[in-house]
Structure 1
Amino acid sequence: MRKLKLVLLLLTVLMVLIQIYHMTITSQSTSQRVQKSTNHMHMHLKYMHINKPDSRMHTGTEGDQSKQRYLVYNCDGKSGQCGGFFDQLKGVMVGYLISQLTDRVFLIEMTSTPCKLSSYLSPNKVAWNKTIPKNVLSKLTTSRQNFVDSVTFYKGVATYDFQKLFKEDVIYFRANFDYIDNLKLNVNYKSKLKWMENRTKDGIYQKIFHDLFKISDKIQLILDDFQERALPRATKNKSLVCAHIRMGRNPTIPGDSNVISTTEDVKNGLRFLHQNVCKISKNRSHSCANDTSTGSNFYNHVKVFVSTDSYDVLETVRQEFKMEFVENKGVIVHVEQGRQHENICEGFEKLVSDFLILTKCDVLLLSKSGLSRMASYIRGGSNGLYCNIKNKGVQKCEVEKLKSLYKVKG
């Protein structure tokens, strides 16, 4: 009897131990499943966060807005000139850099025309199209700083302490030169500008441009259409030979301040285009009758694009290149001079799309123009880059030396 009780007791203990063991295993398994589920959820959230459209965009408007400071590139058409669009773009870019150096929120206000910048170039990593709420703005100190054509400011960016120069909460800022070279010299911001040290000028401009902008859907449709007409996917070994021919004051834009190119300069530019079409074609086992004519047997391999501020030049290009020429149609306007033009926004659309096409050219001929230089910077590098110099003809040029070559500050 005592033996039987002992056996029953041992069996009971064994059953309890088995139950405890199963509970432990189940608990561990559940814990592992929960951990795996949690890890998967974190990965999923991280993935969703990365791909959320605005997740990487710096708005600068979080938190207490009354304690934030702002630098606003402003072109309102009321307080003096801003320059052409690419003068304005240079002002935007240096304004953005100064906002970073001074820990300010950067915004853009271009209201001199009814054309909304974000319709052509949308915000990318910086939400520059936000506005300061009126109830917040009313409590902040403001200042307007117009440095258009200011040589003093152009030189001063090499030494300025911008915190002392700009003391108010909101700085409405305007400028129009190329300040990059001088800004790189500023020892007050050596640490914050360290990213510029080993970058070329075109590399710096590319970074700023892509921080601020991405191509809008409207402009992308224009570029896609141009791409299909100029360099269709089915065509191999294709090249795009381009020129920007800026005339300055001419019948199309009679209000422009200066004559930039002469008739002889235009002839030099067209001759250059002909020569390059022939040269590229010969390299692809075709022949060219001479260096000043082209034939339809080349048009599948070489296309010509010309951006210009003159309808007369445009018509000449149409006649001379015929099958080789691919046109980006639209209205020609000067953004500063043509504010009241009934088709100003159509002109703005053509201007921006022309510029972006120029950044993709295999061979690019420049004029003395902010559009030309900015296109070459965003295009990057000096390979296939040429400059048409007034009364001196066409010469090979380097992207780092364009300012000195054209004797400009912008």
Structure 2
Amino acid sequence: MSVLFYHIRCCFKNKMTRKALRTVTLFVFMCCTYSVYKLPSLYWSLKSSQHQSVIVKENSVMKDRLEVDHRQVNDISKSQNNDIRIENNFEHNLNVSTANSINTVNGSRATNEGNKTDNGTNIEYDKLLKEIDNGIEADIKYNTLEEDITIGEFVFENEDIEFNINDIDNFRKKSEKLFETFPNHQNSTKYLIYFCEGKCGGLADRLKGITMVYMMSLLTQRRFAISMDTPCEIEHFLQPNLLDWSFPDRESLAGKTVQIIDCFERHDAYEIDLQRYDPDPISMLKAEVVLMKANQDWTRIFRKLSVSPKRFPQLYQYHSSELLRTIYIGLFKPSSELSHSVNEFFKQKVGDKKLACLHARMGEALYQRYTYREIMIPLQFLKRFDNRDDFKIMIATDTENVKTIANHMYKNFVDTSGPILHIDYMRNGSMAQDLKCAGFMRSVVDHVVLQRCDKLVLTGSGFGVTAASIRHTSRGLYVYMRGEAVMPTRRELVRETFQWRCLSPSFDSKFYSNICDS
């Protein structure tokens, strides 16, 4: 050790060595200083380029729907490739699903191969059918507080107005009056357009995206419009009501600059920046015409912006479910074809009875949300209403197998008509256009029917959650806590608390178990 210190001391006595050390030290110091100064700007330049999902076209001429820059098309194509296995599996079993949808009411046993997985899903399904036919009921737990003498169990109901289908028009008018108090910028020469091309999500994702873009149009003081023709034109089912959101004609857009913002694939980055830096949303929209893809509920994020209290004060006066309901009713009225389908369902199949419903989202073969054993819990819950003379039972689901189980379980089972198709898995063009529109129509009919159910049980899906939000009361509204129990909830809670915590798959439910149990 002493020898080492001796050599170090000798080095420092040498003038050349000391000079070299000073030079190296100065160089390291300058590098560090430059890094501290330069790296933040380098980081934000890279972040800015990352957010350049936007392409501005100067003096572009509109061709059909607005042309998307080839880089944006590549981004969309990449996102579509992520779902190719699901789409292939879905297309392979389309004919089976369509045939089963016709035979379900007659009690036929569907054998939808789309739900066949390596863990023996079909074996479980067949075993359940045998148990049901033999009168063996699945075990079920209830969250119970108030005794129901008719069946000897305890049932809790929210203290809210009783659902009455005859009151729908009155409550719709109240929502329309509220919508008319919202700011209106439809005279603006700048546009913010909800844009659906390629992958847009299912019906619930699209409704959430439309609501989010509409709110953004109020905060950015732009004219709002909708462009959605995948898998077919939205106007076939939902038409403008109090606000004309029709896609503008070519003459209105000729010569305007165009920008595309993808909040569908990059919503996390935009959410973080909005919450961290509190920008004026107007600064995000550079072009005269902005096309925005979205599928998220940004109500809580918009409430944190400093410009929101002045530009959209109603954002703080109503909960997110009420805002969704008001915007949905203000923007949309059913087409004549949709109205006819819904009215015929209630007239021919429900009549003067009440309706108890379940939305059972089972998932795809590659992403199974529930097993058949698990979904038996909410199915068994509805038996209490099937045993009464004043109720019909309706199940909205993404698989024929669940409808077949329901047809075996309930004596008062009713069903809508049409093929069961997920509207986001019909993009590759191999399916007939009329079949795509028929699948889209059934999805919208099921959604409207769920809005009008006297009793509604939700599973982990935005489809049922958005329908519950549009419903005008919390009375008769329940959630299925995965693998545990059916319990009541409220419209005010279902979107912000339950959907991605208590209704989520088991790996998330474990993480949020304390929230769900409280």
Q: TM-score, normalised by structure 2?
A: 0.57
When you count helix as a share of all residues, which structure comes out higher? 2
Match of 1:333 in 2: 421
- The one of 473, 485, 500 aligned to 1:407: 500
CA contact (8 A) 1:143 1:170 kept: yes
- Verify: 1:91 aligned to 2:200, yes or no: no
For 1:335 and 1:176, how far apart are their aligned partners in 2?
14
CA contact (8 A) 1:244 1:307 kept: yes
CA contact (8 A) 2:186 2:222 kept: no
Query: How far is 1:243 from its partner?
Result: 0.4
For residues 35-71 of structure 1, give each alpha carbon's deviation from its aligned partner in whole angstroms, at most 9, with x where no partner exists.
Answer: xxxxxxxxxxxxxxxxxxxxxxx99776xxxx81101
In structure 1, stretches of 5+ residues that fail to align are 1-57, 251-256, 282-297
Match of 2:399 in 1: 310
For 1:99 and 1:276, how far apart are their aligned partners in 2?
44
Match of 1:161 in 2: 280
For 2:287 and 2:242, how far apart are their aligned partners in 1?
25
| Runs of 4 or more consecutive aligned structure 1 residues displaced over 4 Å after TM superposition | 58-62, 155-158
1:258 is matched by which residue type in structure 2? Y
- Verify: 1:373 aligned to 2:465, yes or no: yes
Q: Secondary structure at the match of 2:292?
A: strand
CA contact (8 A) 1:364 1:385 kept: yes
CA contact (8 A) 1:241 1:276 kept: yes
**1:154–1:304 distance in 2 versus 1, CA, 3 Å:** farther
2:476 is matched by which residue type in structure 1? G
For residues 125-157 of structure 1, give each alpha carbon's deviation from its aligned partner in whole angstroms, at most 9, with x where no partner exists.
Answer: 121123242x55342111110011522323445
Q: Secondary structure at the match of 2:296?
A: coil
1:243 is matched by which residue type in structure 2? L
Q: Secondary structure at the match of 1:176?
A: coil
- The one of 193, 213, 232 aligned to 1:72: 193
For 2:446 and 2:305, how far apart are their aligned partners in 1?
34
**1:109–1:59 distance in 2 versus 1, CA, 3 Å:** farther
CA contact (8 A) 2:186 2:224 kept: no
CA contact (8 A) 2:236 2:335 kept: yes
Query: How far is 1:392 from its partner?
Result: 2.4
Match of 2:372 in 1: 263
Alignment of 1:130-149 (within 5 A): 130-133=247-250, 135-149=251-265
**1:241–1:157 distance in 2 versus 1, CA, 3 Å:** farther
- Verify: 1:152 aligned to 2:245, yes or no: no
Larger RCO of the pair (alpha carbons < 8 Å, separation 6+): 2
**1:226–1:157 distance in 2 versus 1, CA, 3 Å:** farther
User: Identity over aligned residues, as a percent?
Assistant: 26
**1:61–1:381 distance in 2 versus 1, CA, 3 Å:** closer
CA contact (8 A) 2:478 2:487 kept: yes
CA contact (8 A) 1:304 1:326 kept: yes
Match of 2:141 in 1: none
Alignment of 1:287-326 (within 5 A): 298=389, 301-322=390-411, 324-326=412-414
**1:136–1:359 distance in 2 versus 1, CA, 3 Å:** closer
**1:379–1:155 distance in 2 versus 1, CA, 3 Å:** farther
CA contact (8 A) 1:107 1:128 kept: yes
- Verify: 1:359 aligned to 2:451, yes or no: yes
For 1:337 and 1:229, how far apart are their aligned partners in 2?
31
1:249 is matched by which residue type in structure 2? E
Match of 2:240 in 1: 123
Structure number with larger C-alpha Rg = 1
- Verify: 1:384 aligned to 2:476, yes or no: yes
Q: Secondary structure at the match of 1:261?
A: coil
**1:157–1:354 distance in 2 versus 1, CA, 3 Å:** farther
Q: Secondary structure at the match of 1:407?
A: helix
* Number of equivalences: 314
1:384 is matched by which residue type in structure 2? G
1:357 is matched by which residue type in structure 2? V
CA contact (8 A) 2:357 2:393 kept: yes
In structure 2, stretches of 5+ residues that fail to align are 1-182, 505-518
For 1:208 and 1:116, how far apart are their aligned partners in 2?
20
For 2:446 and 2:200, how far apart are their aligned partners in 1?
21
For 1:130 and 1:171, how far apart are their aligned partners in 2?
12
Once structures 1 and 2 are overlaid, which stretch shifts more, 356-365 or 181-190?
A: 181-190
For 2:492 and 2:437, how far apart are their aligned partners in 1?
32
Q: Secondary structure at the match of 1:190?
A: helix
2:263 is matched by which residue type in structure 1? F
For 2:341 and 2:423, how far apart are their aligned partners in 1?
20
**1:124–1:305 distance in 2 versus 1, CA, 3 Å:** same
Query: How far is 1:171 from its partner?
Result: 0.6
1:244 is matched by which residue type in structure 2? H
1:390 is matched by which residue type in structure 2? R
Alpha carbon RMSD of aligned pairs, Å? 2.4
Query: How far is 1:391 from its partner?
Result: 2.3
For residues 353-374 of structure 1, give each alpha carbon's deviation from its aligned partner in whole angstroms, at most 9, with x where no partner exists.
Answer: 1000000111100011111110
